[in-house]
Structures are given as structure tokens and as C-alpha cells.
Structure 1
Amino acid sequence: AFRPPQFGGANEPFNFPALPWQIGGVSVAKILIFDEYPSIRNLLAEELAGEGNVILSIGRAELLRDGIATFNPDLAILDLFLRGRFRWDFLEEIRQQEPTLPVIIYSGYYPGGDPHLDQVDGFILKSCVLEELKQCISYVLRQPDLAASM
């Protein structure tokens, strides 16, 4: 069974081997997933890795900065709704660290009208059907200057 890299345990180091980022002539996207729920991280990781992407799954906020620096993702999928509120400060830290990194918020809660939504490349409400998320990922990855134009 597929086991994506899981980071979120105590004192786990980030150590990524050099990978060929072209597999069989197909470009591979490196996607970082941040969600506090392991079941959601695992579902997304398995589905997206099954399409040929390389996945880093993170469950603890304090590991997010190091994960981005070490993994150097092409895209981040984040659920910033933690413990009853949106943690936009995480998005601000990501934007300071990697201003051009495309970010999709994938959450069960919609912060309608929040100006922070202007800083992301997509927002998808969580669902058991992942087609909408996959379509958003495909669109964002085809738009190389989308995040840079913000």
C-alpha cells in the first residue's frame, strides 16, 4: 500500500533524496499538503501521488516553514482553519518565505469576504469528491506567473 511521507511526529528531520522530476517524459509536481487531520492528509496524498505527483504531508504548523524550505514545492495545499479559527498568519509566513509559491486553501469552512483570499491562488471547500480540487491544482500549475502577479 502507498505510504506518503508523513511529517508531524516529534523531531522528525526533513531529508529528501534527489528525484528525477521527469518520469517517463511527464513532468512531476511537488505538492505540499498541510492539514491537521491525518486521514485527510493521507487521502489527498494517496490520490495526488497516484497521479504521479511527489507529496510531502505535514500535520504540525511548526514544521511548515522547514518543510517548504527543504522540499521546495511547486504548490501548497493548506487547511488554515485550526482550532476554530483561520490562521492567516501561516499564509503570511509562507508568502514572506516563498512569495511566488502557488497556494490553494482546502478547507471545510469558507471565510467569505476575507481579504486574505486575495493572496491565494484557489479556494476549494473540502469534499469527499476530489475532482474540483484536482481541476484547481491543474489550473494553478499551468499558470506559472499567477502567484508572482499578486
Structure 2
Amino acid sequence: MKTSITLGLTLAASLAAVLVPSSNVLAAPAIHNASICQHWNPGEANLPIYYADGIRNSSTSAKTVVCPLAVTHTSGQSTGYVYVDHNNTVGFYCTLYSYSYSDVYLGSKTVWMPPTTKFTYIGTVPANTYSNHSVVCTLPASYGGKVVAIESNF
């Protein structure tokens, strides 16, 4: 009987711990397909080239794309991180930008996407409850690089 009561109380406490929301719980990472990325310059509406598994640049010169990130903010979280999933024969740069809801610059990080790596950590940038974030990449010419997806956690 004593064992049954102890087991019942333990089970109830465990369920309560799982079901009660905590402000310290981190948000689940969001995976963004590269189809969210858009051309940086309005005159380049035909670039980049979209594929089911990412985006490439078919032009004979490097082109810049911006990838706005959908964000589920976690209360009390002061930074967020981003990884870029890429596949390239030529390296390229991506920059993560962070702005407050009132368009105040919070920070940025620029990272080289090497051709030998397929998943690159950009790093962390400041974030707050209403901040917004985007990744800007300069895709190499002649299909030399592809952004596949972007993982973020804010």
C-alpha cells in the first residue's frame, strides 16, 4: 500500500513537472527551406534559381539573396543561433542580422561557407522578445553554391 501511494505521488509529480510551463524552456529550432530566400536586387527577379532542395545562382556573376527567418521567441532568451545547410563547389559568405522591433540594429555575424562543409554554424546574435532576423548570402556564379536550408533558434 505504501509503495502504491509513493508510486502514485511520484507519477503525479512527474506529470506536473512536464505539464507546467516554464519560462526557461528553450524554443525548438525552426528549419527554413531555402525557398524563403529572395533576390536582393529587384532587377534580378529571375535569380536565384529555385530547386526542391535549395536555391542556386545561374548568373555569370555572384548574386545576393536575403532569407527572412520566421521566429518563435522564447521569453527571457537574449541570443539566438543559426546554422546554414549548403552544398557548394565554391565557398561563399552568409551574414546573420538581428534587429529590434523598432528597427534598431542588435548585431550581426558573417561566416564563410566552405566547399568542404555541408552544415555551417553562423553563431549567435542578440535577440529580444520582438526582434527579427535574416540571413543574407552571396551565392557564387554559375551554380557554384547552393543554400539548402537554414536552422534557427530564437
User: TM-score when scaled to structure 2?
Assistant: 0.27
Q: Which has the larger radius of gyration?
A: 2
Tell which has more relative contact order, 1 or 2 (C-alpha 8 A, sep 6+). 2
Pick the structure with more helix per residue. Answer: 1
User: TM-score when scaled to structure 1?
Assistant: 0.27
Pick the structure with more strand per residue. Answer: 2
